[in-house]
Amino acid sequence: MKAIVVENIIKRYKAQKVEVTALDGISLSVDQGEIFGIIGPDGAGKTSLFRILTTLLLADSGYATVDGFDVVKDYKKIRRKVGYMPGRFSLYPDLTVQENLEFFAAIFNTTIKENYELIKEIYSQIEPFKDRRAGQLSGGMKQKLALSCALIHKPSVLFLDEPTTGVDAVSRKEFWEMLHRLKVQGITILVSTAYMDEATLCDRVGLIQKGILLSVNTPKGVISAFRSSLWAIRANEMYALMETIKADPAVKSCYPFGQYHHVTFNKKEQIEEHLNRIVKNGSFTGVEMFPIQANIEDCFMALMSN
């Protein structure tokens, strides 16, 4: 059985006279024990999808199951089995750390003791502050408490909506290490993020933009589907270099990537010669160029522009 099945889900919102299509016919399935990433910018439809799957929002049409249960008919069963960490901090700020955890354990008819092993590694980091009110915690600690509360009933599927937004690179890395240890315990994880680099940490990803899935694949599969040959180039005059490259009719795309620009062409042959000509005509200095493999962000941008 698939942990999650989504078939042709459509969700529209009406605000005054304007209608927005948040999800425009989304289909995907997630295997048990898989870490599946929904990768896309704000406004792509990620949260709508999460709220439909956690039975908090009704789709306009389409069909979805979680753990084999229908999100409309069997919503009570789903609510008992899944863990959900919304993007916005949603615990009780006036309760202490421990009170929050006890509250969620009690709601799910369990105790902290019963599932302590599952949350031990995460919860032990905030346990020294267990008498502090949740509202007084720092961002990182709130996140750990929210994850502990979402896990306290040993859910079969864990929904994490943008758990790393606004989180620094170190804490993000630690968070993903934590998710991989949960996966080993057999928990299926659906996680959304706007950080493209996190895609490579998932088993499979769905790239989403404007309510449409651009691609559903393994991270490697997404990358191998990138057909153009991609070059990295830098010079001392980075801004002028980009303007010059973009103005060239043979160039398909040119995007800055840290120290380099990533360039694709409308043709396959003689790319190095072509770039050399651009560099020479523009009298650029300190030039460095080489072919590279696309990363997820290159792929996302290529799919976005199609």
The only residue of 194, 212, 223, 292 in contact with another protein, by rule CB under 8 A: 194
292 Rama class: left (phi>0) / alpha (psi -120 to 50) / beta: beta
Residue 291 Cβ vs another protein, minimum distance, rounded to whole Å? 17
Instruction: List all residues 6 or more positions away from 143 whose beta carbon is below 8 Å from its beta carbon.
Output: 163, 167, 171, 175
- Burial 226-241, CB ≥16 within 10 A → b, else e: bebbbbbbbbebbeeb
Quote the least distance from Cβ 139 to another protein, whole Å: 5
Is residue 305 a contact point for another protein (CB under 8 A)? Answer: yes
Give the nearest distance from C-beta 260 to another protein in angstroms: 9
Per DSSP bridges, beta strands 260-265 and 230-234 are: antiparallel
C-beta of residue 92 within 8 angstroms of C-beta of residue 126 = no
Contact string (CB under 8 A) for another protein, positions 97-136, x = contact: ----------------------------x-----------
Is residue 287 involved in binding another protein (CB under 8 A)? no
Cβ 33 to another protein shortest distance, Å: 28
With residue 219 as reference, give the H or E element that holds it: helix 219-224
Q: Residue 188 Cβ, how far from another protein at the closest point, in Å?
A: 25
Among 170, 268, 273, 285, binds another protein (CB under 8 A): 170
Nearer of residues 157 and 199 to another protein, judged by Cβ: 199
Single residue of 76, 113, 249, 259 touching another protein by CB under 8 A: 259
Site string for another protein, 212-251 (x = CB under 8 A): ---------------------------x------------
Q: Choose which of 31, 41, 252, 290 interacts with another protein (CB under 8 A).
A: 41
Amino acid symbol at 46: K
Residue of 1, 18, 76, 283 that binds another protein (CB under 8 A): 18
209 counts as binding another protein under rule CB under 8 A: yes
The pairing of strands 157-160 and 35-39 is: unpaired
The residue among 23, 29, 25 whose CA lies nearest residue 6 is: 29
Give the contacts of 297 (CB within 8 A, at least 6 positions apart).
Answer: 196, 197, 257
Q: Annotate 20-37 with b (16+ C-beta within 10 A) or e (fewer).
A: ebbbeebebbbeeebbbb
Shortest Cβ distance from residue 141 to another protein (Å)?
Answer: 7
Distance set, CA 225 to CA 211, 216, 294, 296 (Å): 21, 11, 10, 11
**Interaction of residue 13 with another protein, rule CB under 8 A:** no
Q: Please check whether residue 175 is in contact with residue 164, taking contact to mean a CB–CB distance below 8 angstroms.
A: yes
- Interacting residues with another protein (CB under 8 A): 15, 18, 40-44, 125, 138-141, 165-173, 194-196, 209, 239, 255-259, 297, 300-301, 304-305
